[in-house]
Structure 1
Amino acid sequence: MSEDPPSEKLFALLDDEYARTILTKTSEQPMSAKALGDVCDASLPTIYRRIDRLLECDLLVEQTEFQNEGRHYSIYEARLERVTVELADGALNVTMTTKEKPDPADRFTDIWEDIR
């Protein structure tokens, strides 16, 4: 499991309306960037910037979805479950709880079954 992002970076990201919407919507179901753009009423470049920041902080996971004729696209799913902020002994401690990342072997099996 990776180290939590700096609290300033996490707070700035969670303060962003688009990033919060991406997290909440992808916690319900995995979504493509295009679908997120529609939900957020934002341009694809705006959505991709937020997605990149969320991926960098390990709050989203990216997976490949396959369609007919060998086409594919990315879908995103929220990993964030909880952010805890504690104030103790003059220090502010921020911790994140995230879902486990999908096992690559299981994902490969899913992809293979989609292809067949």
Structure 2
Amino acid sequence: MPRRDDPPGLETVLDALDDPACRALVRAADGSRTASELAADADVPLSTAYRKLDRLTEASLLETETEVRTDGHHTTRYRLAFEEVTITLDDGRTFTVDVIRPPQAPSERLETMWTEVRREA
């Protein structure tokens, strides 16, 4: 899964946003939601929703978190990972994508730090 600070590729973002089902899932992503909740609200079949959620996560437009439940089953939850996406054409006639992220809460910064420590270990 891409890290929050890794910039997504232009084609990856455009491919995700060009997909009507992906756009419907983004519109449904209000807070932290499960795939089932998003699929129902976006009127997308669950099997399709999983593929589209993967695409949006790869494009760094959604973030995932694991909800640990007492019954031993874990649930993946999705939330928006951007506030704005801007596509520009620079002086060199090169397209670039800029994904503006919401600020991280202190608990999220701590989680990111521990994730990075585990990666290095």
Q: Which TM-score bucket, shorter chain as reference?
A: 0.7 to 0.9
2:26 is the alignment partner of 1:23: yes
Q: 1:81·1:97 contact (CA, 8 Å) conserved in 2?
A: yes
Aligned positions, number:
105
Distance 1:25 1:41 in 2: 10
Aligned letter for 1:88?
A: D
1:104 pairs, out of 67, 88, 111, with 111
Distance 2:71 2:12 in 1: 40
TM-score w.r.t. length of structure 1: 0.74
Aligned letter for 1:13?
A: A
Identity %: 29
1:34 pairs, out of 16, 29, 36, with 36
2:67 pairs, out of 58, 65, 68, with 65
TM-score w.r.t. length of structure 2: 0.71
What runs of 5+ residues in structure 2 fail to find an aligned partner? 113-121
Q: 2:85·2:98 contact (CA, 8 Å) conserved in 1?
A: yes
Aligned letter for 1:95?
A: D
Aligned letter for 1:17?
A: P
Give the alignment's Cα RMSD to 1 decimal. Answer: 2.5
CA deviation string 1:51-108 (max 9, x = no partner):
1111112211111224453443111101011111222323323211123483428xxx
Q: Which has the higher strand share?
A: 1
Q: 1:85·1:94 contact (CA, 8 Å) conserved in 2?
A: yes
Seen in structure 2, the aligned counterparts of structure 1 residues 84 and 68 have a Cα distance that, compared at 3 Å, is: same
What runs of 5+ residues in structure 1 fail to find an aligned partner? 106-116
